[in-house]
Structure 1
Amino acid sequence: MLPIRFWLYLVAVLLLTGAVYITNAPFVARNASAGQPTAPSQEKTFYMVTGEFKGRYQGKKLEAYRWDPGMIVVHQGDRVHLVIRGVSGKEHPFSIQGYNVRGNVRQGQITRVSFTAYKPGTFQLICHTHPTAETNGPMIGYIVVLPRQTT
């Protein structure tokens, strides 16, 4: 019989592995009963957070910034609502390239933006504080707009 500490450790590792998988997976609305993607809906809300990680490696300061989830998937014509909580980083002014959407996420606050996904493609959600490697970025998320399927 294995000690209880082993089982507790194993459960913790499995939970953390699942959390990493979920936060890195694209979010697509699904039909819960069938497990299949739903027909395009009119309203979709996504809850996101800002992530800022700092450390040192071989005496050098390292920083990484990200949006979580890093990718969302919607259909053309959907009304998209982003609810973004500023978890870390003082502020993250952002825009969604290809759309006239701008906002600013501040630490400890929630920022809400909404738009209609009127054109298909992949669009960057980019933080203007961290847009390039020189600014410890890029801090970029992706919004994938799938073409509306006709049945």
Structure 2
Amino acid sequence: MRFVVIRKKWIVIAAVLFAVIGSGSWFYLNQDAAEVINHHADEKAEIHMVTGEFTSQTDDGRKIEAYRFDPGSITIQKGEAVTLTIHGVNGAEHPFRIEGTDIKGVVKKGEKAVIPLKFDEEGTYRLICDTHSRHGQGAPMIAYIVVD
């Protein structure tokens, strides 16, 4: 009985080692995967975001909806030059602004808005859709840009 328990233990250890070595080798040998992991200092970072919509119906038959930016929060480093691309998926158009900056624009369905970003001050900046930010329109459409 003791021999079976020890043998099972070694089989589990061998399986774990095989998985770790196999996945490590795959990342090392697969250049596409390595490219995703590596960040080159001479390249401008790109962040992609989409406009999304949730719709539902209440028990009394009333339609409710909420729009959002997805992801709803991004983090960039202070002083880092980043390109934020917002892809218009749901909603005809979303006029937006980034609070605390002069950045404004519009994302239209089927199109994309490309926004160069670089923040010199740490903090949290709100990306706000002006169409879906007023009281009475459901949940506000806001994403947060966190600058560290």
User: In 2 relative to 1, CA 98–78 (structure 1 residues): closer, same or farther, beyond 3 Å?
Assistant: same
Structure 1 contact 52–64 (Cα < 8 Å) conserved: yes
The reply to whether residue 108 of structure 1 matches residue 113 of structure 2 is no
In structure 2, runs of 5+ residues without a counterpart are 1-35
The residue type equivalent to 2:56 in the other structure is: G
Q: CA distance change for structure 1 residues 100 and 42 in 2, over 3 Å: closer, same or farther? A: farther
**Structure exhibiting the larger radius of gyration computed from Cα positions:** 2
Report the 3-state secondary structure (helix = DSSP H, G, I; strand = E; otherwise coil) of the residue aligned with 1:100: coil
The TM-score normalised by the length of structure 2 is 0.68
Calculate the aligned-residue CA RMSD, in Å. 2.2
Counterpart of 1:80 in structure 2 is 82
Shift of 1:42: 7.2
Moved over 4 A (4+): none
- What is the letter of the counterpart of residue 79 of structure 1? A
Show structure 1 runs of 5+ residues with no match.
Answer: 1-30, 147-151
More strand by share: 1
Alignment match, 1:32: 37
CA contact under 8 A between 1:42 and 1:77: conserved in structure 2?
Answer: no
Structure 1 residues 32-71: Cα deviation after superposition (integer angstroms, max 9, x where no partner): 37xxxx8x88732101100012220212221111001111
Q: State the TM-score, normalized to the length of structure 1.
A: 0.67
Q: Match for residue 71 of structure 1?
A: 73
Q: For residues 119 and 68 of structure 2, what CA distance do their matches in structure 1 show?
A: 22
* Structure ranking higher in helix proportion: 2
- How far apart, CA to CA, are the structure 1 residues paired with 2:108 and 2:141? 15
Q: Is the 8 A contact 1:80 1:117 kept in 2?
A: no
Overall identity of the aligned pairs, in %? 41
**1:133, distance to aligned residue in structure 2 (A):** 4.0
Determine helix, strand or coil for the equivalent of 2:120. Answer: coil
- CA deviations on 1:75-102 (whole Å, 9 max, x unpaired) are 1001121111100001000011012111
**Structure 1 residues 42 and 119, CA, compared in 2 at 3 Å: closer, same or farther?**
farther
1:143 to 137, 142, 145: 145
